[in-house]
Amino acid sequence: MSGVSWREALDEEMEPMLAEEIDVFEGQVELRKQGKVDERVFAETRLRRGVYGQRYDNGQRHDGVASRELRFPAGDLTKGPETFWDAPGMQRIKIPYGGVTPDQLEVLAECAEEYSDDILHITTRQDVQLHFIHIEDTPDMMRRLASVGITTREACGNGVRNVTGCPIAGVCRTEVFDVTAYADALFRFLLGHPDCQDFGRKFKPAFSGCAGEPCGLVMMHDFGAIAEIRDVDGVPTHGFQIYVGGGLGTTPHQAKQLYEWVPASELLPVAQAVGRVFGREGEKKNRNRARIKFLVAKLGIEEFRRLIDEERAILPYDPRWTSYLPNVGDFDEEPARDAAPLVAPENAPEGFGAWLDSNVYRQRQDGYVAATIALPLGDLTADQARALAEVSRRYVGGAIRTTVEQNIILRWVSEGDLPELYRELAEIGLAEPGAGTIFDITSCPGTDTCKLGISSSRGLAGELRRRVAASSFSSDTAVEGLKIKVSGCFNSCGQHHVSDIGFFGNTRKIDGYTVPHFQVVLGGRWRENAGSYGMAVGAVPSKRVPEVVEAITSRFAAERQSDETFQDFTTRLGKKELGALIEPFKSIPTHDEDPTPYTDWGDAREFTKDDMGIGECAGEVVSSTTLELSSAESLSFDAQIAFDDGDLVRADERAYRAMLSAAEALVRAETILPPEDPDAVVKEFKERFYDTERFFDRFAKGKFARPLFERHEQGPGRLDADSIRILLEETALFIDACYAFEIRETGAQSAAV
Amino acid sequence: MPATEQLVVDRVAVTVPLNAPDGVDIDGMIGVFHGWIQRGAVPGTLIDVADYRHVHHGPVVMLVAHELDYAIDLADGDLGLRVTRKRTAGPADLRAAVGWCAAHALRAITAFADEQPPNGSLSARTDELRVRVLDRRAVPSTAAGAERALAELGESADELFGASGGSVTADWAPPAPVTVRIRAEDPLSPGDLLAAADSASAGLSSD
Ligand code: SF4
């Protein structure tokens, strides 16, 4: 198919809305290259498409001797403040509730090998991340993902991030009911929702099927729902306990209960009301205080609840709130194979027993189990992903989920198939035992790729795994069940706060050198949906962390009282005693005696903090109006390209869409519009801005708006080159007038430069 | 079967197998690649070292550059140095791109000579090149795609191993990317293979 673009090849495969969004994004990429979109606006635009910056994208890198400039071919062109165009970046890909099909896994593998570095990385929020990607490859990559129903929209930026959920929902023995359909409905409802476009920071929702287990981690999320069935008028009714304002980061907050229970029919409107209140009342200027947890803390949960009640009461009815409910059963999965008992094979494959013990979970459906694939640091190669897709088709009919522990779960494995499944997974290197144990360490990207990383979280996690595998730590069964989680900095993406033994990166000056360290955080609670956070007991040099783990685990094994949990143990010892426990590991030799501790794990360079950059976690706070006007410009650009290609029909249609989008951007800033309703857009625009003369220019008056009214009322006019050329000019002038209007009204900085 | 028109690809990877008479220190490769960045020992806008030692049969340790990636490759379980040509670097014609990648890999392998043992004794095995065409738009993972790539790479085999004779075999099953092994009847010296690869890539380079 040489010569055929992905856009042409996949035209029929993509949902029209996704296809159009990607076309618009591609237009914005082109406009940015031409210097026609401000870098801040472009940065937020790409972040909202999941296109993230990566370490060294400011063009500076310390090579261990000195900081050197990286000279990229595109020169000074940027894709955001201090972010060079050619510098490789990361693509985050949303996987709602971790549900992924074999076809999707294959396309993810294709993207990893054709645009990235051959590696798929599972994140602590069930997303997939690909690294080292060029910005200009992202539109085609998005098309390929869209062709199998995956979107990257709002995977980063100040919007609703991936909706996470229990990876064993539907097969879990302790769940109240399967939350999958509800998580899916919330994901679809909030995706691109106008009420969720003006947040000061990100917003992470999570679902859990029960209160006691950790899978959903609701208590550390911005918005969380825990399944509960209540009797309503004698009818058992599905519903949720609703929590808001949880979060980790530098100042972790446990979520507060917003509602003790709401029926499922209220789930989406409540989430919408929360979105509106957060968008309106949340902090916008100080990004360090802009998460919803700060708003909830500032107002108090009672006042916050009052605002939500008030907002809910005035929400205009939306049929989507309940339209999915009759189809909840569509999410029930069918096993691919008949249930059969596990017959212990005479010559069981080597390692099968250990894998069976740690990686296999008995489902509530008799004869079936869920098998966890313990991925080292959340990574697998494209070849492995492809092979796994094939294995999953045969054994489980494609029932695959990613997990917040950076693993993959195959559900609906017939018990009788386990030995053969194990054999096949072992052949592709995906049968490591130890899932959910001290071996299965979670880590954020840290200094490997993250601009904010201070210490090498992945390097440390890799080293600890090697040492656990080599039985360097206590083999006590209570120790085996402990969790270790590592973050490269205080931002907590590795979720260290909810781990038995957690670490986050920082530094200390020793012997005149900056030395990589990890703060030790002990006793976080993973169960009960991340029920409580650990306590920081002191920082130790990175290279001494394995000794710290050895000391802590040995002490726990030796001194724990009967069934004492690690949380109870650390509480009993207290901060002072735990501090004393790690004290001997704080010192290192001088640099002259041994320079090794002055480097980080998995990195041969002498340590420096010079490579840290400006984070993009929050994105720029750019108004949704400015972003939408930028999209309208992209459509107008598309119209010009169609015109240049001689496609006058498309040029006319794109130009009209561009004007409509620009008008819609202004209207949406003032009122709520029904989706996909051009009549409503034009009517509202006319009444609000034209009839009132608010839109009028001092000299041109309302002239620039009239082409929109004419094209809308009269439909396509004469499709000759001259008429279309004029329409294109009028479209550009209308969009300029919209920008000017926004500046007049709000003082916003124009996206046009 | 001669190819009819140029086959233009965005991305292709070529692995040159390595001789490791004293074994290989995989952990030490991280330091080797950081050293290459410090010294500018290999061509390209050298950005970073990626550590994938924990991944089964993966790229193991990568030196990521803007134009290309260098990786210690264990994809087949066999040790090799893989060079991946990215986007618009060097020639886009498949045959020339294969020559370009092979030349970059062979030159990089000579840089091992400056390293400590055992990595200092790594050298190129010149009896085979493994080519992965990582561009399904140009070469889809279909029988037709493989046939087209084989036709092109058959000519590459002649260009690279002309004097001694080369053969190509597809080593692949869909939906994996089309992968072709180019084998030499009689291996050339690394210097002669490098000269042939340079000539195949028409002298274009990333730097
Ligand atoms: S915790 Fe810090 S280093 Fe790790 S991914 Fe988050 S911001 Fe980056």
Summarize the confidence of residues A480-499 as an average pLDDT. 92
* Residues A504, A461 contacting (CB under 8 angstroms): no
Inter-helix orientation angle A267-281/A292-299, to 10°: 80
Inter-helix orientation angle B190-200/B94-111, to 10°: 140
C-alpha to C-alpha distance for A175 and A77, rounded to whole angstroms: 52
DSSP of A107-152: HHHHHHHHHSSSEEEE-TTS-EEEEEE-GGGHHHHHHHHHTTT---
**Owner of token pair 């972010």:** A83
Q: State how beta strands A535-541 and B179-184 pair.
A: unpaired
Cross-chain Cβ contact B38/A65 below 8 Å: yes
Cross-chain Cβ contact B34/A605 below 8 Å: yes
Strands (E), B20-158: 46-52, 60-65, 68-73, 80-85, 123-124, 128-133
* Residues A488, A444 contacting (CB under 8 angstroms): yes
Q: Which residues of B touch A63 (CB under 8 A)?
A: 34, 37-38
Cα distances (angstroms) measured from residue A479 to each of A256, A475, A537, A549: 32, 7, 19, 10
Inter-helix orientation angle A102-115/A138-146, to 10°: 170
pLDDT band of A623, cuts 50, 70, 90: confident
**What contacts A515, CB < 8 A, 6 or more positions away?**
A507, A508, A509, A541, A542, A588, A597, A598, A607
* pLDDT the model gives residue A491: 87
Grouping H, G, I as helix, E, B as strand and the rest as coil, residue B182 is strand
In tens, the pLDDT along A118-141 reads 999 999 999 999 999 999 999 999
* Residues A588, A544 contacting (CB under 8 angstroms): yes
Q: Which residues of B touch A384 (CB under 8 A)?
A: 55-57
Q: Is the pLDDT of residue A27 over 50?
A: yes
* pLDDT the model gives residue A741: 86
A53 pocket-lining for ligand 1 (C-beta < 6 Å): no
Residues of chain A with CATH 3.30.413.10: 171-331, 437-574+589-605
* pLDDT the model gives residue B51: 96
Summarize the confidence of residues A566-575 as an average pLDDT. 93
C-alpha to C-alpha distance for A582 and A548, rounded to whole angstroms: 6
Cross-chain Cβ contact A55/B48 below 8 Å: yes
Q: Which residues of A touch B34 (CB under 8 A)?
A: 63-64, 603-605
Bridge partners (DSSP) of residue B132 are: B13, B179
Alpha carbon of A249 to ligand 1 centroid (Å): 9
Summarize the confidence of residues A56-79 as an average pLDDT. 92
Cross-chain Cβ contact B137/A1 below 8 Å: yes
Q: Is the pLDDT of residue A463 over 50?
A: yes
- Per CATH, the number for A437-574+589-605 is 3.30.413.10
* Residues B83, B75 contacting (CB under 8 angstroms): no
Examine residue B175 and say whether the peptide bond preceding it is cis (omega within 30 degrees of 0): yes
- Characterize A479-501 residue by residue with b for buried, 16 or more Cβ atoms within 10 angstroms of its Cβ, and e for exposed: bbebbbbbbbbbbbbbbbbbbbb
Summarize the confidence of residues A190-219 as an average pLDDT. 90
pLDDT band of A617, cuts 50, 70, 90: low
* pLDDT the model gives residue A3: 72
Alpha carbon of A618 to ligand 1 centroid (Å): 12
Q: In angstroms, how far is CA B26 from the centroid of its own chain? A: 19
Sign of CA dihedral A250, A256, A258, A263: positive
Cross-chain Cβ contact B34/A63 below 8 Å: yes
Q: Which 8-state DSSP code applies to residue A569?
A: H
Site to substitute for ligand 1 among A492, A496, A611, most atoms within 8 A of C-beta: A492
Residue of A165, A576, A655 lying closest to A403 (CA atoms): A165
A45 pocket-lining for ligand 1 (C-beta < 6 Å): no
Q: Is the pLDDT of residue A613 over 80?
A: no
Q: What predicted TM-score, i.e. pTM, was given to this entire model?
A: 0.90
Sign of CA dihedral A527, A531, A537, A542: positive
A472 vs A751: which has the higher pLDDT: A472
**What contacts A463, CB < 8 A, 6 or more positions away?**
A545, A546, A601, A602
C-alpha to C-alpha distance for B107 and B86, rounded to whole angstroms: 18
pLDDT band of A621, cuts 50, 70, 90: low
Instruction: Give Dmax (Cα) for chain B.
Output: 47
% of residues, chain A, pLDDT over 70: 97
Alpha carbon of A18 to ligand 1 centroid (Å): 30
Grouping H, G, I as helix, E, B as strand and the rest as coil, residue A239 is strand
pLDDT band of A732, cuts 50, 70, 90: confident
Q: Is the pLDDT of residue A251 over 80?
A: no
C-alpha to C-alpha distance for A473 and A468, rounded to whole angstroms: 6
C-alpha to C-alpha distance for A532 and B141, rounded to whole angstroms: 50
In tens, the pLDDT along A254-301 reads 999 999 999 999 999 999 999 999 999 999 888 888 999 999 999 999
* pLDDT the model gives residue A477: 86
Q: In angstroms, how far is CA A111 from the centroid of its own chain? A: 18
A59 pocket-lining for ligand 1 (C-beta < 6 Å): no
Q: Give the strands of the sheet with A535-541, arranged side by side.
A: A442-443, A484-487, A501-510, A513-522, A535-541
**What contacts B123, CB < 8 A, 6 or more positions away?**
B18, B19, B21, B109, B112, B190
The percent helix, strand, coil of chain B (3-state, each to 5) is 30, 25, 40
pLDDT band of A526, cuts 50, 70, 90: confident
**Owner of token pair 């640099």:** A591
C-alpha to C-alpha distance for B59 and A708, rounded to whole angstroms: 54
Q: Which residues of B touch A137 (CB under 8 A)?
A: 87
A493 pocket-lining for ligand 1 (C-beta < 6 Å): yes
* Average pLDDT score over chain A: 91
Q: Is the pLDDT of residue A748 over 50?
A: no
How many DSSP H helices and E strands does chain B contain? 4, 9
Instruction: List the single residue in B with minimal CA-CA distance to A132.
Output: B64
Grouping H, G, I as helix, E, B as strand and the rest as coil, residue B184 is strand
Instruction: List the single residue in B with minimal CA-CA distance to A379.
Output: B55
Instruction: Give Dmax (Cα) for chain A.
Output: 90
Q: Tell me which residue in A9, A117, A380 faces B59 most closely, judged by beta carbons.
A: A117
Residue of A462, A380, A607, A605 lying closest to B51 (CA atoms): A462
* pLDDT the model gives residue A532: 80
* Residues A154, A160 contacting (CB under 8 angstroms): yes
Report the gap between the CA of B178 and the closest CA in chain A (Å). 12
Residue of A408, A384, A407 lying closest to A396 (CA atoms): A408
* pLDDT the model gives residue A747: 60
A452 pocket-lining for ligand 1 (C-beta < 6 Å): yes
pLDDT, averaged per 10 consecutive residues of chain B (207 residues), comes to 72 96 95 96 96 94 97 88 94 94 97 95 95 96 94 90 81 94 90 94 54
Residue of B79, B154, B76, B69 lying closest to B104 (CA atoms): B69
Cα distances (angstroms) measured from residue A227 to each of A242, A461, A712, B140: 9, 33, 47, 45
Bridge partners (DSSP) of residue A518 are: A505, A540
A446 pocket-lining for ligand 1 (C-beta < 6 Å): yes
Strands (E), A292-421: 360-362, 368-373, 379-381, 400-402, 408-414
Q: State how beta strands B128-133 and A235-244 pair.
A: unpaired
Q: Is the pLDDT of residue A155 over 70?
A: yes
Q: Which CATH superfamily is A171-331 part of?
A: Sulfite Reductase Hemoprotein, domain 1 (3.30.413.10)
Cα distances (angstroms) measured from residue A660 to each of A196, A320, A493, A679, A725: 21, 24, 40, 10, 18
Query: What ipTM was reported for this prediction?
Result: 0.95
Q: Would you state the structure tokens that stand for residue B30, as one six-digit string?
A: 């991280």
Is A613-753 a domain of CATH 1.20.120.330?
Answer: yes
* pLDDT the model gives residue A619: 46
Q: Which residues of B touch A106 (CB under 8 A)?
A: 175
C-alpha to C-alpha distance for B9 and A75, rounded to whole angstroms: 25
